[in-house]
Structure 1
């Protein structure tokens, strides 16, 4: 993919944070004209030594009202983009396309009582953006964040998740959030263990949440590993939950930029 200069802005990195040997986040300046809806993504560019610019899509983890942009990434061994991205440091330049993309936004659903946000790995990024926006707390009676990682150490942004309901503008809605962290490769007391699909199939996820996953009440957003998304869609279809389309509103929304 190529972009002409007017299609992107040059932003300055203010912070690079390593969560684990393979997970890191980037925070950079934000062009004052860049607007997005919580849940959308942008294409980020990194210049190569030969003059080429490599582009990849990343969800905004920051809120639409933040004065900065934040992204969450995994280092793909030998990956042309993520390996370059992980070498950046505060003060370096990151290219950000001016046009946001994506439909993993609240307007995918026309109704619903409970909003389930099912994420694996860095797929939690758009959901953290959504949870920092006021709209979701007004629209839904319960918000269930299910965040799966391989180990407890790879569950990033725990402090942000814990503090969310205590922010001044969200305090009155604090009891709406149900947080269900999941690990797949170790057993940790107090955390769910197993793949999200296994927890749905066995009913364990609903028991832990204290909330039924139904087509009538539930709306579900999926982001993360493509296999997880495909398998979850199959399980949800068995419960009469369909992908929400413009021409046919449904109960499920996914992001497919992986």
Structure 2
């Protein structure tokens, strides 16, 4: 089902990367889930999924998007002004949530988030809730982008560093220009070489880690392969493991 949402705020991260806060009557959701935005064009509904960046309980929903020149919906989203409307699915979906992470001995003390580009959104949503900080001793966000200007939500991330200075480890990686505050490698390469673990100051293993991966398909495949070599396995409801994946397109 669909409802009409109204844009109440825009955040411009760069000339193509932006966030929309939308006032819409949607059902309660779980941090990490996604909704769909849509428009009717030529009597056909064009819909795309966007992860919710805001935590549950806010009086709005927030999505992070990048405008793709030949995209069917994203250019229209980028053109939306405050006060204009967009169709929103009333119910969120998705299983990349902390509820799906195994509990007990298999959980381990460390939670790793591996994200590229706009896929950092669902991890921001999770980190803005109490659950990861109550369940895990360490929370690591590895955030890979091409350019420094692509690092969205840095103010929120830095606020989390101040709020959880002993728990939260933030590792940005910018691949196409020098960034003095982070790495300059692809996430799978950093995992393979051990650089990411070295930077975090903690080991990543099947005994102590849960890893959530969200981003471009190539990164997901390569990162999961490297983690498998380290002995981690994909987590399923019938067979709990250490790796949870959501393909972003």
TM-score band w.r.t. shorter chain: over 0.9
What are the equivalent positions in structure 2 for 1:33-52 lying under 5 Å apart?
Answer: 34-48=27-41, 50-52=42-44
CA distance in 2, matches of 1:190, 1:132: 23
SS at match of 1:146: strand
Deviations 1:92-119 (A, max 9, x none): 1121111211111012222221000000
Q: How big is the shift at 1:163?
A: 1.2
How many residue pairs end up in the alignment? 245
Deviations 1:223-251 (A, max 9, x none): 11111001111111111111111111010
Query: Does structure 2 conserve the Cα–Cα contact (< 8 Å) formed by 1:221 and 1:252?
Result: yes
Q: How big is the shift at 1:164?
A: 2.5
Q: Which residue of 2 aligns with 1:64?
A: 56
What are the equivalent positions in structure 2 for 1:70-85 lying under 5 Å apart?
Answer: 70-85=62-77
Q: Which residue of 2 aligns with 1:117?
A: 113
CA distance in 2, matches of 1:222, 1:38: 15
Q: TM-score, normalised by structure 1?
A: 0.91
Q: TM-score, normalised by structure 2?
A: 0.95
User: Any runs of at least 4 consecutive aligned residues in structure 1 with deviations exceeding 4 A, and if so which?
Assistant: none
CA distance in 2, matches of 1:186, 1:194: 10
What are the equivalent positions in structure 2 for 1:235-250 lying under 5 Å apart?
Answer: 235-250=226-241
CA distance in 1, matches of 2:199, 2:248: 30
CA distance in 2, matches of 1:83, 1:100: 23
Q: Which residue of 2 aligns with 1:94?
A: 86
Q: Which residue of 2 aligns with 1:162?
A: 158
CA RMSD of aligned residues (A): 1.3
Segments of 5+ residues of structure 1 without an aligned counterpart are 1-6
